[in-house]
Amino acid sequence: MSNWITITKADLYNSKAARLIIAADTKSLAPGQTDRSTGVIADVTLEIRRKVARCNQLDQDVTKIPGGLKPLAVDLIFCRLKVAMEQDLSEAEREIMRARQRDLDRVANGDDMVEQPDNPIPAPMVQDIPKPAFGPKPRRRKNDVNG
């Protein structure tokens, strides 16, 4: 089993009310507009990866997040779909959003650990560049024979 996963619509259907997801993908779309859930999944995935990257290595696959963050991702996606459908979040949903953001902040600060990526992005090569030396230059006197 993989440590990092891609969140799919099936994950949303299995975890939350399918009616909201179907409505978000079909109702009140402009001509040519794609379904909302795909974009919201991508946005939440990017946000999670940005937070994870602060203190952890990322997987090469940009659609993947640590598997342990799946419930967090599903909750964020669900609430954002409700907002996109111009539905008010309940007080319980607002508290879930606040709690999930705190969870993400703990990951970003290195207070919570996540699974190691299956295909980590190679670490960039660090060049050993000498540090510049700063300090006062020796003063030369006008009558200095050597100067």
Q: Give CA separation, 48 vs 6, 64, 90, 126, in Å.
A: 12, 10, 23, 26
Q: What is the mean pLDDT of the chain?
A: 85
Task: Identify which of 91, 95, 97, 106 has the alpha carbon closest to the alpha carbon of residue 78.
Answer: 97
In a domain, 123, yes or no: no
Structural domain that includes position 12: 4-108
Is the model's pLDDT at 140 over the cut of 80? Answer: no
Q: Confidence class of residue 8 from pLDDT cuts 50, 70 and 90?
A: very high
- 102 within domain boundaries: yes
Q: Which tens digits make up the pLDDT trace of 51-62?
A: 999 999 999 999
Q: Is residue 82 part of a domain?
A: yes
Structural domain includes residue 74: yes
Residue 124 inside a domain? The answer is: no
Any idea which residue has 């419930």 for tokens? 71
Q: Please tell me the distance from the alpha carbon of residue 10 to that of residue 114, in angstroms, as a whole number.
A: 23
pLDDT, tens digit (0-9, with 9 covering 90-100), for 63-93:
999 999 999 999 999 999 998 888 899 999 9
Q: Is residue 135 assigned to a domain?
A: no
25-59 pLDDT, tens digit per residue, is 777 777 777 788 899 999 999 999 999 999 999 99
Round to whole Å and give the CA distance between 131 and 99.
Answer: 43
Residue 25: per-residue pLDDT: 78
Biggest CA–CA distance in the chain, Å, is: 91
Whether 115 maps to a domain, the answer reads no
State the pLDDT confidence band at 132, using cuts at 50, 70 and 90: low
First to last CA, the chain: 72
Please compute Rg for the chain using Cα positions.
25
Nearest Cα residue to 24 out of 68, 76, 80: 80
Residue 100 lies in a domain: yes
125 pLDDT exceeds 60?
A: no
Is the pTM value of this prediction over 0.85?
A: no
% of the chain at pLDDT higher than 90? 55
Structurally, how many domains does the chain consist of? 1
Of the candidates 49, 52, 73, 84, which has an alpha carbon nearest to the alpha carbon of residue 63?
Answer: 49
Contact 8, 123 (CB under 8 A): no
